Structure 1
Amino acid sequence: MSSLNAAKRISAFANRYFVVWVLAFSAIAFVVPPAFTWIGPYITPLLGIIMLGMGITLQPADFERLFERPRDVIIGALTQWIVMPTAAYLVAVVLSLPPELALGVILVGAAPGGTASNVMTYLGNGDVALSVAITTVTTLAAPIVMPAWVIFLAGEQLSVTFADLFLSIVQVVLIPVIAGFALRYVLDRRAPSIAEASIEVFPVVSVVAIVAIVAAVVGLSHETIATAGAVAVVAVVAHNLIGLAGGNSVGRLTGMSEKRVRTCTFEVGLQNSGLAVALATSFFSPTAALIPALFSIWHNVSGPALASYFSRNDTVGSPSPTPVSTDD
């Protein structure tokens, strides 16, 4: 039991200072790029490990919720699928982004939700069960939805096909998530203590993997950051804020409860930018991966800030008892 408690403390520490780790190692990567550029070829496997961890957080009850509350799940998923890609296109046009940076924004917009949204929903006293359900739906649908949007919005710039993107997302997202879910299912029944320990260990692994991915992209893109850093930051902040505002507005307009409005806000505004990084580095360039990497940093600043605002101005009761582990 002492080992499990130690794992919990380490996990809590890693998550609490997650943004600090990302900023610190990104700064080092910018100053000393070779210290992290060697990680580049391992970005896709690292994301697969993160998605395996997400799968381990899922249980059969999470899939049952898809049928218990289909209306709000469908609204949340559709809002994300429409608002974020559309916002990405508008941001790219309004800011006249160079093609590779524009592609990075589009990749983020087309990405599914990340489990960071689950954690922010918990911290902001939203509906965690609904958050997990929406993240699950958008993640499982990612092999279809993401390539469709990327090809539609940036097709004339691409040499990659829908099939290429589809197979890559299946390999990086769908298979690891299903494998993690299956592993959790078996462990819960045959080795519950190991299952409990894995829930504490994988958030730490995810934090290390995300920090490594972001640092690698910063190292690989340090010249681009030096010349186009300001406009890239503006694009990331604008895209994220449009997503958060869009999710909040749709939740209220469709009559969701306050807790579910908060959930919709985070689900739409916080993306699986790690997947966008992996696809950018696999099929395009480090420059295309810059915006997703910056998004990984920024949404882990804006998300906690908004969650803190919600919790400090709360009239809907205390948060759910069990938080969900984060990846991206």
Structure 2
Amino acid sequence: MKLLEAISTYAGKYFAILVILTALIAYLIPSPFLGFGSYITILLGIVMFGMGLTLKATDFKMVITHPVPVIIGLFAQFAIMPLAAFGVAYLLQLPPALAAGLVLLGSVPGGTASNVMVYLAKGNVPLSITMTSCSTLLAPIMTPFLLLVFAGQWMPVDAVAMFMSIIQVIIIPIILGLVVSKLMPKTVEKSLNIIPLISVLAIMIIISAIVAGNRENIASAGLLIFLAVFLHNAFGLFFGYLAARFLKLSVQDRRAISIEVGMQNSGLGVSLAKAHFADPMTALPSAFGAVWHNISGPIIASYWASRPDNEEETTNLPTNAQSATIRK
């Protein structure tokens, strides 16, 4: 078990590098990874099950005790990102499949790795965890609705079918994780340190399958996809911070909201694209997002961590540090 915990810690620490290497290997040698495509939904369900195992009632405490930052953050999450995706798609004149895929990336909830990035950035970790949890639970309603509104002009969207998919892939695994955690707390407690390893492996396999299966599309449109994902992520980070600053939230809250808004659940985007769109290129923005978000996240976290904080912290960060690390 100690060996697995050490490997899990290593995998979490070098997650971005591992994802990049996986994507490069899958691109250069695609054949070993092509068979993984049929397991994407199952793998994402495993990641969400792990999230359910780590969820606690305290993760939702801020909704009651400090609702304003949570509400602002969630509004920014589901307003800034789909609007930014829509704007970037028009700005770059993306093909319909890529445009719909970028809007899909902008309509999914926040990614779980954002909690670790907020901790490293010396942001408000409890707010980050609460936003991730709440946006994930809101996803069955918000993601199909936003995709229908902003991407319906490029590709047909079956909002009801997508609602059911998110329930099956996200909500049911999380509920199962909560139930298992409640029924077997001691067993779950012993296994928490290896959950990051399982999540990292699942994301690596998902990325390898998408890259391997779209090698030709990446070769022809890779630069355009990267530029779209780069701009989308940058808009999310910038305007997420700007919105929190405009509403005079603390520095810690601004950092948390910025990172939460900018880092999406790319795995869910890949799974939904594969399940609901015939064109495989629809999954590419989310696949690229899974790589780039785990590069930009550490960069901005390192930048903020090195800057002095002139405002008093409103929350006790160390108390939630372990939870944030596990959530990765």
Same fold at TM > 0.5: yes
Aligned to 2:303: 309
User: Equivalent of 1:115, from 104, 112, 131?
Assistant: 112
The alignment yields a C-alpha RMSD, in angstroms, of 1.6
Letter in 2 for 1:255: K
**Aligned residue runs from structure 1 range 155-194, under 5 A:** 155-188=152-185, 192=186, 194=187
Q: Quick check: 1:59–1:185 contact (8 Å CA) kept in 2?
A: no
Q: Check if 1:258 corresponds to 2:268.
A: no
Aligned to 1:147: 144
Q: Distance in 1 between matches of 2:170 and 2:150?
A: 22
Q: Quick check: 1:100–1:287 contact (8 Å CA) kept in 2?
A: yes
Aligned to 1:240: 233
- Post-superposition shift, 1:160? 4.0
- Provide the secondary structure at the position in 2 that maps to 1:39: helix
Spell out, residue by residue over 1:218-257, the C-alpha distance to the aligned partner (whole angstroms, 9 max, x if none): 0011001110011100001000000000111011111111
- TM-score w.r.t. length of structure 1: 0.94
Aligned to 1:125: 122
Aligned to 1:15: 12
- Post-superposition shift, 1:196? 2.1
User: Equivalent of 2:135, from 113, 134, 138?
Assistant: 138
Aligned to 1:281: 274
- TM-score w.r.t. length of structure 2: 0.94
Q: Distance in 1 between matches of 2:79 and 2:156?
A: 24
Mark the runs of 5 or more structure 1 residues left unpaired by the alignment: none
Q: Check if 1:230 corresponds to 2:223.
A: yes
Letter in 1 for 2:222: G
- Say which is worse superposed, 148-157 or 49-58, in terms of deviation: 148-157
Letter in 1 for 2:195: F
User: Equivalent of 1:270, from 263, 266, 280?
Assistant: 263
Q: Quick check: 2:147–2:157 contact (8 Å CA) kept in 1?
A: no
Aligned to 2:90: 93
- Post-superposition shift, 1:72? 0.8
- Post-superposition shift, 1:104? 1.1
Q: Quick check: 1:29–1:216 contact (8 Å CA) kept in 2?
A: yes
Q: Distance in 2 between matches of 1:51 and 1:325?
A: 15
Q: Distance in 1 between matches of 2:213 and 2:327?
A: 22
**Aligned residue runs from structure 1 range 281-300, under 5 A:** 281-284=274-277, 285-300=279-294
- Post-superposition shift, 1:282? 1.0
Q: Quick check: 1:206–1:327 contact (8 Å CA) kept in 2?
A: no
Q: Distance in 2 between matches of 1:39 and 1:153?
A: 30
Percent pairwise identity: 41
Letter in 2 for 1:309: Y
Q: Quick check: 1:85–1:109 contact (8 Å CA) kept in 2?
A: yes
Letter in 2 for 1:78: F
Equivalent pairs counted in the alignment come to 321
Q: Quick check: 1:33–1:220 contact (8 Å CA) kept in 2?
A: yes
Q: Distance in 2 between matches of 1:131 and 1:319?
A: 11
Aligned to 2:102: 105
